[in-house]
Structure 1
Amino acid sequence: MPRGIEPAFMSDFGLDFRPVADLMQVEALAGRFAGVALVARGDQVLFEHAAGDALRWAKLPILRNTRFQLASTGKLFTVVAIGQLIEQGRVALDDALTHWLPEHTARAGWAKVTVRHLLAHTSGFGSYWGAEFALRRTSLKSVQDYFALFQDTPLAFEPGSRFEYSNVAFILLGAIIEQASGQDYFAYVQQHVFDPAGMVDSGFFEADEDTPNLAVGYTFRTLPDSARGQLSARTHTQLKPFKGNPAGDSVSTAPDLLRFAQARMAGRLLQRSTFDLFRQPINVMPAPPGAKTLQRMGLGLITIDSTHGHPVGHNGGAAGTTTSLFMDPDSGLIAVLLAAVDQEECTPVSRALTAIWLHHDFNQSPNTKSR
């Protein structure tokens, strides 16, 4: 039986989510899924279901308010923060990176990088993952702590010349937010994003904090490829960042992400004109294996092309973490998926859920009553 919440299987829009709930239960019983799915239109929740365990050995069930690490879905908070500062005239899209970080002016190519390049993933910066990250992982607590991982690495290409997804770019956006606002990044997001949206269970927690209701991620990435299907997944404790940062891994819940999306679409976090500017597609993103939809990157926001609309948001994936939040300002659609498993294990559920919300015309007249 579902634990924690009773799912709404049918909606006024003729959607039957029962197969998704059943699949979540089957995959959870097989140890391949643990998470929460939520679909809403505006204030109306159309589907909400939890399955699996937040801590497997204790059989502690995932509930609707279980916290998850967000991986790159947390970039949405950095996008909103930089957008707010642009609206206030404190930051401009074409500001040079070194305008805000003048101590790095002598670094090759940095003066050519703009805020726009950082948001669009066209800066030439890459990722901070690797051996050095693993070595320093438990000491990476502030935005500035991450600079040692990349500041001496040359840019991979001329800024603006091509697209390459970059976590470093969002660390640098976090540094700009701190310089422009005069606040620590984490304090800024708490005060100007989480609090106004009513996100009471969201935050940036250090790995050794006793964080209530936090799901433990389970991964196969510490095991040989041949172990999948032969051995049990391991916890992601040794792979996850010690603390969330501007590039991701903040902590939230499905209800909090719903509140965030509702606040965004109601104009309480960003003006509609800013959001529309940021979501305009700039580059096509490389499609994941088996994907049948086109995803395009704007200024920090991913747009998905579908038959009936262009939902915008972000997804995330890391060891023991698979997440996504997409919203369509035109139809009011909001779709959330949070899971404490690898992307490979989550794929059946994510595809089944997406197949329903992505291809439904939410602007049509309701034709099926709830039951």
Structure 2
Amino acid sequence: MRKFAFAVCILLLCSLAQSQSLRNQGSGPHAPVNQSELVAKLRSHMDELSRKDEFSGVVLLAKDGVPVFEQAYGLANREYNVPNNIETKFNLGSINKLFTRIAIGQLVIEGKVGLDDPMGKYLPDYPNKEAQKATIRQIAMMRSGIGDFFGAKFRDTPKDRIRTIADFMALLAAEPLAFEPGTKEAYSNGGFVVLGAVIEKVSGQSYYDYVREHICKRLGMESTDFYEADGMTSNLATGYTSQTEDDDHGPRRNNIYTRPARGSSAGGGYSTARDLLKLANALEARKLTNPVFAPDVPKPADMPFAALRGTGIAGGAPGINADMESSLPGGYTVIVLSNYDPPSATKVARQVREWMGLREY
């Protein structure tokens, strides 16, 4: 566990540096958060959102690592009228990128990966030779120029055939770079797929097995995994989306045809609010003082930070929205998981931040 915590600390150093600089831009001191008042506000707010059918999922509020409010709302499966419960597993979207960064950090500590090594050192057969020059650090910080896999190939590929890192790599490896590595920052799902391939090559395990063994098992996250869409997994929330190509506000539909059969190192795994609290507590367990990621490296595009205090990461896609905010004033953590479209979860987390006097990121 000690080694695991050390890896996490290293991974998030650059984020701490960015967060610290933002804290000085806040709107001034804020009053201490009253727990009873905060819980009452949250309960009332969630009851109203649920009544309007604007939220379906789970909300967990913890103080000093211990839940003080947790409640499930709506249905995990509308077809069979199955309600969500505290242990329901939800799709995390891009929150899984954090798992990938942790895995890379562990391999750095073990001397198996160098942050400033070119990606081509580990993936010499990667089709794009220019992309091979991007360093592991640049890829992890979304400064590689590697783009996305949600293009024409993804649309034309039957989703039941996308269930391994190699399957995702086939969707993007031949694509040109959006810019020269290190010159810009842009959100990159494809870059995190590449990191997943690096993890597989270096560890000798599938990405899924590596995360299961070296992260989930170590933290006791027994309800966290990359469950397959056509598998028989109990207590798994079905996603429901109102989005179509022509309308963002149509009737809700099952999102099974919009997503791959299994997620990747860029996102799409499943977890519960309680499991994510275990992860948040592990991140909080040590000071971020180990300078592997340089402090001047920009933060990842998908890891927003508070203007006053706190760190967060969110993920979203049709019928998927998840938000995890930790290190909030008073020692609070808020985790919101939803099987509705964004911003069903993120707007709840932002409301909690607002009650704490924090700027919206």
TM-score (norm 2): 0.83
- Amino acid in structure 2 at the alignment position of 1:205: Y
Structure-2 separation of matches of 1:242 and 1:304: 32
Match of 1:182 in 2: 204
Structure 2 residue aligned with 1:3: none
* 2:283 corresponds to 1:264: yes
Letter in 1 for 2:358: H
Cα distance between partner residues in 2 of 1:153 and 1:145: 15
Give, in whole Å, the separation in 1 of the partners of 2:65 and 2:165.
35
Match of 2:140 in 1: 119
State how far apart, in whole Å, the 2-side matches of 1:86 and 1:17 are: 41
Query: Structure 1 residues 139 and 319 mapped into 2: Cα distance closer, same or farther (>3 Å)?
Result: same
Q: Give the conservation status (yes or no) of the 8 Å contact 1:306–1:358.
A: no
Give the match for residue 365 of structure 1: none
Say which SS state the counterpart of residue 79 (structure 2) adopts. coil
> Counterpart of 1:186 in 2: which secondary structure?
helix
1:134 aligns with 2:155: yes
CA distance in 2, matches of 1:39, 1:72: 21
Equivalent pairs counted in the alignment come to 326
1:195 aligns with 2:217: yes
CA distance in 2, matches of 1:281, 1:336: 29
Mapped to 2, the partners of 1:90 and 1:142 lie a distance apart of 22
- Structure with bigger RCO (C-alpha 8 Å, 6+ apart): 2
SS in 2 for 1:238: helix
Amino acid at match of 1:22: S
Paired-residue identity, % = 33
1:184 to 1:357, Cα distance in 2 relative to 1, 3 A: farther
Q: 1:223 to 1:169 in 2, by over 3 A?
A: closer
Q: Within 5 A, what are the aligned runs for 1:34-49? A: 34-49=56-71
Which letter does structure 2 place at the counterpart of 1:79? R
Q: Deviations over 1:42-80 (max 9, x none)?
A: 332232222111112333211111100000011111111
Instruction: Give the match for residue 325 of structure 2.
Output: 326
Aligned match of 2:268? 249
Deviation string, structure 1 residues 168-201 (Cα, Å, up to 9, x no partner): 0000111111112121111110010000111010
Q: Which amino acid aligns with 2:334?
A: A
Asked if structure 2 preserves the Cα contact closer than 8 Å seen for 1:38 and 1:337, the reply is: yes
Specify the alignment match of 2:334 in structure 1.
335
2:237 corresponds in structure 1 to 215
Asked if structure 2 preserves the Cα contact closer than 8 Å seen for 1:70 and 1:248, the reply is yes
Amino acid at match of 1:112: K
The 3-state SS of whatever aligns with 2:355 is helix
Q: Is the 8 A contact 1:319 1:341 kept in 2?
A: yes
Give the aligned residue type for 2:336: L
List aligned pairs for 1:1-371, cutoff 5 A.
13=35, 15-104=37-126, 107-136=128-157, 137-222=159-244, 224-225=246-247, 228=249, 231-266=250-285, 272-274=288-290, 280=295, 282-283=297-298, 297-298=299-300, 302-307=303-308, 309=309, 311-328=310-327, 332-346=331-345, 348-357=347-356, 359=358
How far apart in 1 are the matches of 2:176 and 2:109?
Answer: 32
Q: Structure 2: which amino acid aligns with 1:241?
A: P
Equivalent residue letter for 2:303: I
Is the CA contact (8 Å cut-off) linking 1:201 and 1:252 kept in structure 2?
yes
Per-residue deviation at 1:312? 2.4
Distance 1:156 1:47 in 2: 44
Gap change, CA 1:122 and 1:358, over 3 Å in 2 = farther
Structure 2 regions of 5+ residues with no counterpart? Answer: 1-32
1:13 Cα offset (Å): 4.4
Moved more, 60-69 or 331-340: 331-340
What is the CA RMSD across the aligned residues, in angstroms?
2.5
CA distance in 2 between partners of 1:265 and 1:120 (Å): 21
TM superposition shift of 1:252: 0.2
Q: 1:354 to 1:241 in 2, by over 3 A?
A: farther
Is the CA contact (8 Å cut-off) linking 2:322 and 2:346 kept in structure 1?
A: no
Letter in 2 for 1:107: N
CA deviations over 1:250-278 (Å, ceiling 9, x no partner): 110000000111123335xxx8445x755
C-alpha separation in 2, matches of 1:76 and 1:331: 24
